[in-house]
Amino acid sequence: MKKGVLVIGELNVDILLNKVRGLPVIGQEILADEMTFTLGSSSAIFAANLASLGIDTSFCGMVGDDIFGKYILAELNKKKVDTELIITESKYQTGVTIILNYEQDRANVTHCGAMDHLDLTNIPVDKFSQYSHLHLSSFFLQKGLQKDIVQLFKIAHEKGLSTSLDIQWDPANEWAFPYKQCLPYVDFFLPNEAELLALTDTDQLSDAFDVLDGFSNTIVVKRGVNGALAYSKGTYTEADPYLHSQFVDAIGAGDSFNAGFISSYLKGKSLPESMLFGNLTGAMNTTAPGGTGAFSDLSSFVTKARTIFNIEI
């Protein structure tokens, strides 16, 4: 039987500082009243939450031979993500992100470390046909993979996998993603609204879709409290958000949307159904701290969907 989803991506820990007393000032020190240490990285949050929704999930990435790397492997294993394809490389340090949380938004500082060094030579493309779906996140954080991105998605498509890509924000704000070459091999392109506008250098979504038309298959745009909007070869699909009063933080909401969306798609659901389920997993993400706090297993997800959102799954 085929395996489920192969996630290729960056791995890091998150150090979250909450209740920060003001903005950091060079040469001074400020205090944060709360601190949390968790599994970070868009790709790992996606993989962990996808596995928690009952989808068979494997991860391919790189960590350093250090305590953060060991923690990441242990956390992914706890979440039932297969870590056999994760490389531990003693030459590099494991990535780390320090997050300063301010109400609904946050400021991040990342040291990429080992994640910079994963490239096509570390990825077992000969095993691709064992999997049903390939997902990649955080294109701009993975310098080693950038030159190989088109080749990677082309091989995945040739081997019969469906594919999804969430490029995330470009910290350099240069947006050098080769969308004309890559998007034809991406079934679901999953940016948020700000990322899509920045990538296409446009001010509104309809213009952004025009720029990508002819290259893209389905684009699903995440829009925070406005839900999601998809565009596929001239057709628009909208999905309403699941608003609620138990907001904690929005870290990883986009990755949780991706996990819900892809899990639903892999179970044979339609585009609107998959977008709604993505909105639900995105909203669920915001009811607990960090990207994975709201997810443990499918039965507790079903219970929380009922108690928090009044939805029967």
Ligand X SMILES: Nc1ncnc2c1ncn2[C@@H]1O[C@H](COP(=O)(O)OP(=O)(O)OP(=O)(O)O)[C@@H](O)[C@H]1O
Q: Which residues bind to ligand X, rule: CB under 6 A?
A: 168, 192, 222-225, 227-228, 241-243, 247, 250, 252-255, 257, 279, 282-283, 286
Residue nearest Mg ion by beta-carbon distance = 254
- For the bound state, the minimum distance from the C-beta of residue 208 to Mg ion, rounded and expressed in Å, comes to 16
Name residues whose C-beta falls within 8 Å of residue 16's C-beta, 6 or more positions apart in sequence: 35, 36, 37, 38, 99, 101, 251, 289, 290
Identify residues 212-271 at the interface with Mg ion (CB under 5 A). Answer: 254
| Gap between the terminal Cα atoms of the chain | 26
Query: From the DSSP assignment, how many helices (H) and strands (E) are in the chain?
Result: 10, 13
Supply the minimum distance, in Å, between the C-beta of residue 190 and ligand X. 8
Q: Closer to ligand X at the Cβ: 142 or 168?
A: 168
Give the binding range for Mg ion (CB under 5 A) out of 28-36, 174-182, 190-198, 240-248. 190-198
Which of Mg ion, ligand X, none is residue 67 near (CB under 5 to 8 Å by kind)?
A: none
DSSP bridge partners of 38: 14
Give least dist CB 281 to ligand X, A: 8
Q: How far is the CB of 308 from ligand X (least distance, A)?
A: 11
Tell me the backbone φ, ψ of residue 269, rounded to 5 degrees: -80, 160
> With respect to ligand X, which residue has the nearer C-beta, 123 or 212?
212
Q: Report how far residue 86's alpha carbon sits from residue 222's, in angstroms, rounded to the nearest whole number.
A: 29
Closest CA to 225 of 271, 303, 286, 138: 286
**What are the residues binding Mg ion (CB under 5 A)?**
192, 254
